[in-house]
Chains A and B, each alone.
Chain A
Amino acid sequence: GAVVSQHPSRVICKSGTSVKIECRSLDFQATTMFWYRQFPKKSLMLMATSNEGSKATYEQGVEKDKFLINHASLTLSTLTVTSAHPEDSSFYICSARTSGSGGTQYFGPGTRLLVL
């Protein structure tokens, strides 16, 4: 299947700093990427849908000014957690969809963020 990479896999930062997470589709072009957040022993919570070259669509309750998403190319989307706080600590997972109405979503390995 298609491969999606995510970097970094793990990050620890101080409260108030910003953290950028990169998501890349390695062997296919993805016009649409998705960012999810997963809490321990919970399902995935969709944060936003990212379309190449346009603004991301955020889910209700997700602060767009705090979670900045950029989808600058067909293979790269970034999520920046601005002014991170301990409650932002979580497992963030990106997903990229292959093209076509029957496209499959493939997931990155996730990024574990710990804000001290």
Chain B
Amino acid sequence: KNQVEQSPQSLIILEGKNCTLQCNYTVSPFSNLRWYKQDTGRGPVSLTIMTFSENTKSNGRYTATLDADTKQSSLHITASQLSDSASYICVVSPSGGGNMLTFGGGTRLMVKP
């Protein structure tokens, strides 16, 4: 069964600090991996999309990495801001699966002043 597992479940950091969120997936064959940011009670917003041939992709202070051999991805947030407080969700699309995306449970990040 296709699964996406994320760690940690929750994380508290101080404003200005960096953090790294982890994602492991068992989806195979694999097409692409996405990271979304979801504020409480809101819809997910796309941060990055990486195909299996890409190792890294950046979007401002967000940098995602992908190791398709070990089926792991990470999202690194640099110089965190209070507005970064949200859930960060790793999402995987199976090859040939169109947009039947498999969502992870997310990491809930809280940035404190």
Chain B associates with chain A: no
